[in-house]
Amino acid sequence: MSIVEETRKALLQLFPEQAAAEAEAEAAADAEAAAGAEADTDATAEDTASTEEAGEAAGGEETAAEPAAPAKEEEPAEEGPRENGVLVTDHAARGTHLDVLCDPEQVVEAAGIMDEAGFFLEAITGVDWIKEDRMEVIYDYNQTGPDPCRVVVRTFIPRANPEIPTISEIHPGANWHERETHDFFGIKFQGHPYLEPLLLPEDADFHPLLKDFTP
Amino acid sequence: MTVPIQCRPDEVFVLNLGPQHPATHGVLRVKLTMDGEYIVKAEPVLGYIHRMHEKMAEAGSFAQFMPNTARMDYLHALAYNHGYVLAVERAAGIEVPERAEYIRVITVELNRLSSHLLWWAAFLLDLGGFTPLLYAFDDRERILDLLERITGSRLTYCYFRFGGVYNDIDDEFIAGTRDFIKRLRSRLPRMYHDLVTHNIILIKRLKDIGFITPEQCRKYGATGPVARGSGINYDVRKNEPYSVYPEFDFDVPVYTECDSMARYMVRMDEIEQSLRIIEQALDKLPDGPVKAKKVPKILKPAAGDYYAAVEAARGAFGCRLVCDGGKSAYRLKLRSPTFSNLSLFGEVAEGMLLADALAFMGSLDLVIPEIDR
Amino acid sequence: MGTEKVPSSIVHFAELDKLLNLCRANSLWPMTFGLACCAIEMMCTGGSRFDISRFGAEVFRPSPRQSDVMIVAGTITRKMEPGVKTLYDQMPEPKWVIAMGNCAISGGPFKFKGNYNVVEGADQFLPVDVYIPGCPPRPEALLEGIMTLEEKITGKRRWPRRQPGQVTG
């Protein structure tokens, strides 16, 4: 099993619904393939290709889990709201292998899963979607194994009250990234040990990367 | 090297290192809590050269942001050019001609050499040796001459274009580069290694100083020579190949000593590997155009977000580009390697002698405008 | 170039002043003060090829209290501005300021509509004597800047200024 697939399996812990749907589809595929063999919902993915095809058909939101497969659904803005879950993206087109959308409360759990899987945090960034009145927080994870696997975890928070739990206890490197994001967007990381301006002057009370910021 | 701290709280004092300090290579400030000569707590204070690059990316068009990339890490400007054009090319779906890819690799590696040479000079200057600076700058000026010939500038190159490079290289550049490779190869063992690397003073200053465990590297997201000096075999050029790097035969130097000397050796070995890459690229250089045809002047990539990473001299540089279909980036996040590399300074420097901490800081190879962006 | 006079003692000794100024002009001690990209070109100027010591200005001092000239080599941000000012105040008289590079002249490439952090030019809070344009200026330009400063101090130029296009043997 490739690292992308392994990580995907690990991240599915966050999304019991998607995991259940996949397991069901997997079981259905197994049943179909074996033609009358006993359908077992706990069966491990031995025939990955057929499993994932079935998963795609059943899940709707899912694309094939093979890293080389092109990502079909990507734009939450264009194709209606994307549901929470793990998405396999085309590295050549996107630069990432896995794309996770989760609830703000789940980022800590996601960080724990990534930490256990041996990933390190590359960056945290915010995006101010002013038209939709919300902000996006993006966590970039990467690992140093021989095969590339980049994971991006994203979540949306309301623009009026941008708060999200900190992950700096799991990844100490996140400490500065969160301070920087707080500088630029005013996103409050709950539980952060020292949320003071990092790049802006100590007394700065503005958040320059907000779209409605004027100097 | 951790020394047990035996001090009463009222005996410590606060020492401000920087923002104007010759050893911080710019305007980094480190707030040190000291117990005599030992560091109790070190807290880097950033932002003295925060130049709003990410805001500027949102204000101008994609092409208008090109010069900014060179001013982030001015020592390895072409790698930052490269990271940015890769992200935009990925977003806009632009194919790059093969000759342009080779020229990109040649110039990026030449620039990496000049960056490592300058680090070498400045690092030894921190440690108290002035003469190495004169040797390193002698060689570095030759690289700058070569790059100036084709890019038009000495330091802050703006040479790459979306879909290629600005200018083709000529025979004189190729001959000059071959001469330079020969020259640096002959000077490396005698002048760089015999004079400095094997010098007992240098070894005493660097050996077992600034011990970074692989786990610390991972927890803080350190990459580049810092991670490779701690035994992590990670190089974007090998692990997540981009451009034409898979075509070349080169090694990734990894040392497992985890100390400042290991990081020093990684960079010295990288100089040799870069020379190998340039040599192979010059041998294999194909003919053809250096710019993709039909690249629109004003790019409007499809909405979505894109990531591109390159291996810069200081580690993995990443560009996260969020587009909304407009003619400028909706959000451009620049992941700078030194930002993460420096973030472990506080933890590692605890309990260190101040003089050792400066040697350790030099071995991290900091470029402050790249940290602050 | 401004017309400000170098401050000197209350009692003037014209010939002595001239002699002192000649000495000062030929041993300008700059402060090691790199802000950004221009600092690297400043290092190159001190390096082996351009060799600033030909003009007596190679003694880069880490402390402002020992230096004569502050080369503002790079972008000044709002956070750094008080620091630069303190450093200038700490330098002993007589002192001069060279604004090296476009950032130190006017904010350079970082002057744009949404600018929230860059001070648009060192002359907003420092008396600048010589401006050296470029992004970054070449080492030759910095040398020319130092010679211009010498001219300002002594009233004489070290050797004739070359005109553009003029060929010398």
Query: Is the CB of residue A99 less than 8 Å away from at least one CB of chain B?
Result: no
Lowest mean pLDDT among A71-85, B109-123, B261-275: A71-85
Domain containing B210: what range?
A: 9-372
pLDDT of residue A58: 40
Which amino acid belongs to residue B179?
D
Q: Which of B320, B338, B373 to mutate to test the interface with A (most CBs of A within 10 A)?
A: B320
Query: Is the CB of residue A75 less than 8 Å away from at least one CB of chain B?
Result: yes
What is the chain C residue with the closest CA to A201?
C79
Considering the domain boundaries, does residue B2 fall inside one?
no
pLDDT tens figures, B331-347:
999 999 999 999 999 89
pLDDT of residue B5: 56
Considering the domain boundaries, does residue B265 fall inside one?
yes
Angle, helices B131-151/B171-187, rounded to nearest 10 degrees: 170
Chain A, residues 175-214, CB within 8 A of chain C, namely: 200-201, 206, 208, 213-214
Does the beta-carbon distance from C83 to B60 stay under 8 Å? no
Query: What CA–CA distances, in Å, run from B239 to A191, B13, C43?
Result: 35, 45, 35
Please give the model's pTM, rounded to 2 decimal places. 0.87
Considering the domain boundaries, does residue B259 fall inside one?
yes
Q: What is the mean predicted confidence (pLDDT) over A201-208? A: 87
pLDDT of residue C11: 67
Lowest mean pLDDT among A78-87, B33-42, B45-54: A78-87
Residue C70 · residue C98 · CB < 8 Å? yes
pLDDT of residue A57: 40
What are the structure tokens assigned to C93, written together? 């008289």
Q: Give how many domains chain B has, as a whole number.
A: 1
pLDDT of residue A83: 80
What are the structure tokens assigned to B346, written together? 């506080």
pLDDT tens figures, A109-131:
999 989 988 899 999 999 999 88
Q: How far apart are CA B27 and CA C50, in angstroms?
A: 25
Considering the domain boundaries, does residue B4 fall inside one?
no
Q: What is the mean predicted confidence (pLDDT) over C4-8? A: 63
Q: How far apart are CA B37 and CA B352, in angstroms?
A: 8
Angle, helices B98-127/B354-364, rounded to nearest 10 degrees: 170
The residues pairing with A138 across neighbouring beta strands, listed in sequence order, are: A125, A154
Residue A107 · residue A174 · CB < 8 Å? no
Q: How far apart are CA A124 and CA A139, in angstroms?
A: 5
Query: What CA–CA distances, in Å, run from B368 to A199, B60, B93?
Result: 12, 24, 33
Q: What is the mean predicted confidence (pLDDT) over B44-52? A: 89
pLDDT of residue A146: 86
Query: What CA–CA distances, in Å, run from A104 to A100, A165, A174, B99, B171?
Result: 12, 7, 16, 46, 57
Query: Is the CB of residue A152 less than 8 Å away from at least one CB of chain B?
Result: yes
| Structure ipTM | 0.89
Q: What is the mean predicted confidence (pLDDT) over B199-209? A: 90
Residue B332 · residue B65 · CB < 8 Å? yes
Lowest mean pLDDT among A30-44, A79-93, B340-354, C66-80: A30-44
What are the structure tokens assigned to A105, written together? 């409360």
| B233 contacts on A by Cβ (under 8 Å) | 144
Q: How far apart are CA B42 and CA B357, in angstroms?
A: 10
What is the chain B residue with the closest CA to C76?
B49
The DSSP element (H or E) to which B173 belongs, if any, is helix B171-187
> What percent of chain C has a predicted confidence (pLDDT) above 90?
17
Query: Is the CB of residue B154 less than 8 Å away from at least one CB of chain C?
Result: yes
Q: Which residues contact B335 (CB under 8 A, 6 or more apart)?
A: A122, A123, A140, B309, B316, B317, B318, B319, B320
Residues A210, B325, B50, CA angle at the centre, nearest 5°? 35
Q: How many CB pairs under 8 A join A and C?
A: 14
pLDDT of residue B107: 93
pLDDT of residue C37: 86
Query: DSSP per residue over B119-148, as a string?
Result: HHHHHHHHHT--HHHHHHHHHHHHHHHHHH
Residue A154: CA count within 13 A, CB half-sphere: 25
Q: How confident is the model at residue B302 (pLDDT cuts 50, 70, 90)?
A: confident
Considering the domain boundaries, does residue B3 fall inside one?
no
Average pLDDT of every residue of chain B: 89
User: Which of C78, C114, C115 is nearest residue A201 as measured by Cβ atoms?
Assistant: C78
Q: How far apart are CA B212 and CA B193, in angstroms?
A: 24
Assess whether pLDDT exceeds 70 at residue A36. Answer: no
How do beta strands A120-129 and A98-101 pair?
A: unpaired
Considering the domain boundaries, does residue B228 fall inside one?
yes
Query: What CA–CA distances, in Å, run from B102 to A85, B295, B317?
Result: 40, 19, 20
Q: How far apart are CA B148 and CA B133, in angstroms?
A: 21
Does the beta-carbon distance from A123 to B335 stay under 8 Å? yes
pLDDT tens figures, B56-79:
998 888 988 999 998 888 899 999
SS (H, E, C) chain A: CCHHHHHHHHHHHHCHHHHHHHHHHHHHHHHHHHCCCCCCCCCCCCCHHHHHHHHHHHHCCCCCCCCCCCCCCCCCCCCCCCCCEEEECCHHHHCCCEEEECCHHHHHHHHHHHHHCCCEEEEEEEEEECCCCEEEEEEEEECCCCCCCCEEEEEEEECCCCEEECCCCCCCCHHHHHHHHHHHHCCEEECCCCCCCCCCCCCCCCCCCCCCCCC
Query: What CA–CA distances, in Å, run from B371 to B141, B230, B335, B366, C147?
Result: 26, 21, 9, 8, 35
Residue B256 · residue B262 · CB < 8 Å? yes
Does the beta-carbon distance from C117 to A206 stay under 8 Å? no
Query: Is the CB of residue C90 less than 8 Å away from at least one CB of chain A?
Result: no
Q: Is B301 left (phi over 0), alpha (psi -120 to 50) or beta?
A: beta
Average pLDDT of every residue of chain C: 85
What are the structure tokens assigned to B234, written together? 């990670």
pLDDT of residue A42: 46
State CA B276 to chain mean position distance: 19
Q: What is the mean predicted confidence (pLDDT) over B209-234? A: 91
Query: Is the CB of residue C77 less than 8 Å away from at least one CB of chain B?
Result: yes
Assess whether pLDDT exceeds 80 at residue B157. Answer: yes
Does the beta-carbon distance from C78 to A208 stay under 8 Å? no
The residues pairing with B42 across neighbouring beta strands, listed in sequence order, are: B32
The DSSP element (H or E) to which B333 belongs, if any, is strand B331-335
Q: How far apart are CA B18 and CA A70, in angstroms?
A: 50
Q: What SS3 state is found at B238?
A: helix
Assess whether pLDDT exceeds 70 at residue C15. Answer: yes
Q: How far apart are CA B329 and CA B323, in angstroms?
A: 5
pLDDT of residue B8: 63
Considering the domain boundaries, does residue B157 fall inside one?
yes
Query: Is the CB of residue B27 less than 8 Å away from at least one CB of chain C?
Result: yes
Domain harbouring B205, CATH code: 1.10.645.10
Query: Is the CB of residue B25 less than 8 Å away from at least one CB of chain C?
Result: yes
How do beta strands C69-73 and C96-100 pair?
A: parallel
A85-190 is classed CATH 3.30.460.80: yes
Number of other CB atoms surrounding residue B154 within 10 Å: 21
Q: Which residues contact C166 (CB under 8 A, 6 or more apart)?
A: none
Q: Which of B219, B306, B341, B348 to mutate to test the interface with A (most CBs of A within 10 A)?
A: B219
Q: How far is B290 from chain A (nearest CA, A)?
A: 22
How do beta strands B38-45 and A85-88 pair?
A: unpaired
- Strand residue runs (E) in C24-169: 69-73, 96-100, 130-132
8-state DSSP, B299:
-
Considering the domain boundaries, does residue B1 fall inside one?
no
Q: Which of B18, B19, B14 is nearest to B34 (CA)?
A: B14
Q: Which chains are within 8 Å of A by 3+ CB pairs?
A: B, C
Q: Pick the more confident residue, A61 or A107.
A: A107
Query: Is the CB of residue C111 less than 8 Å away from at least one CB of chain A?
Result: no
Q: How many CB pairs under 8 A join B and C?
A: 105
pLDDT of residue A35: 67
Chain A, residues 108-147, CB within 8 A of chain B, namely: 118, 120-123, 125-128, 138, 140, 142, 144-147
